A and B are shown apart, each in its own frame.
Chain A
Amino acid sequence: MKRVGERGSGEWERISWDEAISTIAEKWKEYRSKYGNQSLSFYWGSGATGQLAPGNATGLMGRLVNVLEFTNIDYCVDLAMSVGVGWVSASGALNDITNVKYSDRVVLWGCSLSDAWWQFWKPVADAMENGTRLITVDPNFSTSASKSDLWISNRPGSDPLLILSLMQYIIEHDLHNKDFLIGHTNASFMVRSDNGKILRMSDLGQEPTEGPVNPYTGQPTIIDPPVVWDEETSSLQAWNVATKPTLHKNYVHEGLRLDTAFDLVVAELQNYKAEKITELVGVPVDQIELLALEQTKGNVWNLTGMASQAYKNGAVFGQVLVCLNLITGSIGRPGATVGAAWRFFSMNGAVLTPTGTTMTNVPVLGLNQVMDSGKFKGQDWPIKALYVAAANPVSCAADYHGIKSWWDRIEFIVVADLQFTDSVKYADLVLPVAHALETEDVKTSGYFPFIGISEKAIEPLFEAKTDGDIARLLAEQLGVGEHFRLSNDEFLRDRIDNAPAAKAQNITLDRLRKEKDIYLEGPGTAFEGGYFPTETGKANLYCEMVAPRLNWGQDFDPTAVRVPRFFPPHESWPTSEAMKKYPMALMSERLRTRWHTNEYENEWLAEIGQEPLVKINPIDAVERGITDGSLVEVFNDRGHAVVKAEFSDNIRPGVLLYPKSWQQHEFKAGGWTELTSSFPDPLAVNTSFMDVAADIRPWREEA
Chain B
Amino acid sequence: MTESTKKTSRSKGQMIAIIIAALIAAIGIGLWAYQLSAGFVNTNMRNLDSWGLYIINFMWFVGLSAGGMIISSAPKVFGAKGFGGISKVAVWVSICCTVLAVAFVLVDLGGPQRVWHLFAYANMSSPLMWDIIVLTLYLIISIVYLWAVLRLEKGKGSAKALRVLSAIALICAVMVHTVTAWIFGLLQARALWYTALLGPWFVSSALVSGLALVLIVVVALRKAGYLELKQENIVKMAKFLGIFMAVDLYFFACDLLTSGFPGAEGATIVAMLTTGALAPFFWTEIILSIIVLFVAFVPTLRTTSLVVCASALAVLAILCKRIQLLVGGFQIPNISYPTVLTGPELSGGGSSLASLSSSLVYVPSPLEFGIVIGVLGLGALLLLLGIRLLPLKPAAEDN
Give A residues with C-beta under 8 Å from B.
607-608
Q: Which of B227-252 contact A (CB under 8 A)?
A: none
Q: With both chains docked as a complex, state the minimum distance between the C-beta of B301 and any C-beta of chain A, in angstroms.
A: 51
Q: Which of B340-388 contact A (CB under 8 A)?
A: 340, 342-343
Q: With both chains docked as a complex, state the minimum distance between the C-beta of A146 and any C-beta of chain B, in angstroms.
A: 15
Q: Please, which residues of chain A bring their CB within 8 A of the CB of B342? A: 607-608
Q: With both chains docked as a complex, state the minimum distance between the C-beta of A615 and any C-beta of chain B, in angstroms.
A: 14
Contacts A/B (CB < 8 Å), 5 sampled: A607-B340, A607-B342, A607-B343, A608-B340, A608-B342
Q: With both chains docked as a complex, state the minimum distance between the C-beta of A229 and any C-beta of chain B, in angstroms.
A: 63
Least CB separation from A607: chain B residue: B342
Q: With both chains docked as a complex, state the minimum distance between the C-beta of A612 and any C-beta of chain B, in angstroms.
A: 17
Inter-chain CA distance A608–B343, complex, in Å, is 10
Q: Please, which residues of chain A bring their CB within 8 A of the CB of B340? A: 607-608
Q: Which of B76-132 contact A (CB under 8 A)?
A: none
Q: Please, which residues of chain A bring their CB within 8 A of the CB of B343? A: 607
Main secondary structure of the interface of B (DSSP, over half): loop
Q: With both chains docked as a complex, state the minimum distance between the C-beta of B344 and any C-beta of chain A, in angstroms.
A: 12
Count: A-B pairs, CB below 8 Å: 5
Q: Please, which residues of chain B bring their CB within 8 A of the CB of A607? A: 340, 342-343
Inter-chain CA distance A101–B342, complex, in Å, is 40
Give B residues with C-beta under 8 Å from A.
340, 342-343
Q: With both chains docked as a complex, state the minimum distance between the C-beta of A387 and any C-beta of chain B, in angstroms.
A: 39
Q: Please, which residues of chain B bring their CB within 8 A of the CB of A608? A: 340, 342
Q: With both chains docked as a complex, state the minimum distance between the C-beta of B343 and any C-beta of chain A, in angstroms.
A: 7
Inter-chain CA distance A608–B345, complex, in Å, is 13
Least CB separation from B342: chain A residue: A607
Inter-chain CA distance A607–B340, complex, in Å, is 8
Inter-chain CA distance A607–B343, complex, in Å, is 8
Q: With both chains docked as a complex, state the minimum distance between the C-beta of B161 and any C-beta of chain A, in angstroms.
A: 64
Inter-chain CA distance A607–B342, complex, in Å, is 6
Least CB separation from B339: chain A residue: A608
Inter-chain CA distance A607–B345, complex, in Å, is 12
Q: With both chains docked as a complex, state the minimum distance between the C-beta of B369 and any C-beta of chain A, in angstroms.
A: 31
Least CB separation from B343: chain A residue: A607
The list of the 5 closest CB pairs from A to B, nearest first, reads A607-B342, A608-B340, A607-B340, A607-B343, A608-B342
Least CB separation from A608: chain B residue: B340
Q: With both chains docked as a complex, state the minimum distance between the C-beta of B354 and any C-beta of chain A, in angstroms.
A: 12
Inter-chain CA distance A471–B347, complex, in Å, is 51
Q: With both chains docked as a complex, state the minimum distance between the C-beta of B317 and any C-beta of chain A, in angstroms.
A: 38
Q: With both chains docked as a complex, state the minimum distance between the C-beta of B357 and any C-beta of chain A, in angstroms.
A: 13
Least CB separation from B340: chain A residue: A608
Inter-chain CA distance A251–B342, complex, in Å, is 73
Q: With both chains docked as a complex, state the minimum distance between the C-beta of A141 and any C-beta of chain B, in angstroms.
A: 16
Q: With both chains docked as a complex, state the minimum distance between the C-beta of A659 and any C-beta of chain B, in angstroms.
A: 15
Inter-chain CA distance A607–B344, complex, in Å, is 12
Inter-chain CA distance A338–B340, complex, in Å, is 37
Inter-chain CA distance A608–B342, complex, in Å, is 8
Inter-chain CA distance A54–B14, complex, in Å, is 83
Q: With both chains docked as a complex, state the minimum distance between the C-beta of A356 and any C-beta of chain B, in angstroms.
A: 55
Inter-chain CA distance A608–B341, complex, in Å, is 8
Inter-chain CA distance A669–B342, complex, in Å, is 24
Q: With both chains docked as a complex, state the minimum distance between the C-beta of A607 and any C-beta of chain B, in angstroms.
A: 5
Inter-chain CA distance A59–B342, complex, in Å, is 41
Inter-chain CA distance A646–B340, complex, in Å, is 15
Inter-chain CA distance A607–B341, complex, in Å, is 9
Inter-chain CA distance A57–B352, complex, in Å, is 49
Q: With both chains docked as a complex, state the minimum distance between the C-beta of B269 and any C-beta of chain A, in angstroms.
A: 27
Inter-chain CA distance A608–B338, complex, in Å, is 12
Q: With both chains docked as a complex, state the minimum distance between the C-beta of A99 and any C-beta of chain B, in angstroms.
A: 36
Q: With both chains docked as a complex, state the minimum distance between the C-beta of A596 and any C-beta of chain B, in angstroms.
A: 22
Inter-chain CA distance A6–B10, complex, in Å, is 78
Q: With both chains docked as a complex, state the minimum distance between the C-beta of B43 and any C-beta of chain A, in angstroms.
A: 22
Q: With both chains docked as a complex, state the minimum distance between the C-beta of A156 and any C-beta of chain B, in angstroms.
A: 26
Inter-chain CA distance A41–B343, complex, in Å, is 45
Inter-chain CA distance A584–B340, complex, in Å, is 30
Least CB separation from A610: chain B residue: B340
Q: With both chains docked as a complex, state the minimum distance between the C-beta of B351 and any C-beta of chain A, in angstroms.
A: 14
Q: With both chains docked as a complex, state the minimum distance between the C-beta of B27 and any C-beta of chain A, in angstroms.
A: 37
Q: With both chains docked as a complex, state the minimum distance between the C-beta of A319 and any C-beta of chain B, in angstroms.
A: 41
Q: With both chains docked as a complex, state the minimum distance between the C-beta of A150 and any C-beta of chain B, in angstroms.
A: 26
Inter-chain CA distance A188–B340, complex, in Å, is 58
Q: With both chains docked as a complex, state the minimum distance between the C-beta of A454 and any C-beta of chain B, in angstroms.
A: 30
Q: With both chains docked as a complex, state the minimum distance between the C-beta of B80 and any C-beta of chain A, in angstroms.
A: 63
Q: With both chains docked as a complex, state the minimum distance between the C-beta of B170 and any C-beta of chain A, in angstroms.
A: 54
Inter-chain CA distance A128–B340, complex, in Å, is 29
Inter-chain CA distance A607–B339, complex, in Å, is 11
Q: With both chains docked as a complex, state the minimum distance between the C-beta of B338 and any C-beta of chain A, in angstroms.
A: 11
Q: With both chains docked as a complex, state the minimum distance between the C-beta of A604 and any C-beta of chain B, in angstroms.
A: 11
Q: With both chains docked as a complex, state the minimum distance between the C-beta of B325 and any C-beta of chain A, in angstroms.
A: 32
Q: With both chains docked as a complex, state the minimum distance between the C-beta of A386 and any C-beta of chain B, in angstroms.
A: 39
Inter-chain CA distance A157–B78, complex, in Å, is 88
Q: With both chains docked as a complex, state the minimum distance between the C-beta of A417 and any C-beta of chain B, in angstroms.
A: 28
Inter-chain CA distance A651–B340, complex, in Å, is 21
Inter-chain CA distance A306–B242, complex, in Å, is 75
Inter-chain CA distance A608–B340, complex, in Å, is 6
Q: With both chains docked as a complex, state the minimum distance between the C-beta of A372 and any C-beta of chain B, in angstroms.
A: 48
Inter-chain CA distance A471–B17, complex, in Å, is 81
Q: With both chains docked as a complex, state the minimum distance between the C-beta of B201 and any C-beta of chain A, in angstroms.
A: 40
Q: With both chains docked as a complex, state the minimum distance between the C-beta of A667 and any C-beta of chain B, in angstroms.
A: 21
Q: With both chains docked as a complex, state the minimum distance between the C-beta of B63 and any C-beta of chain A, in angstroms.
A: 41
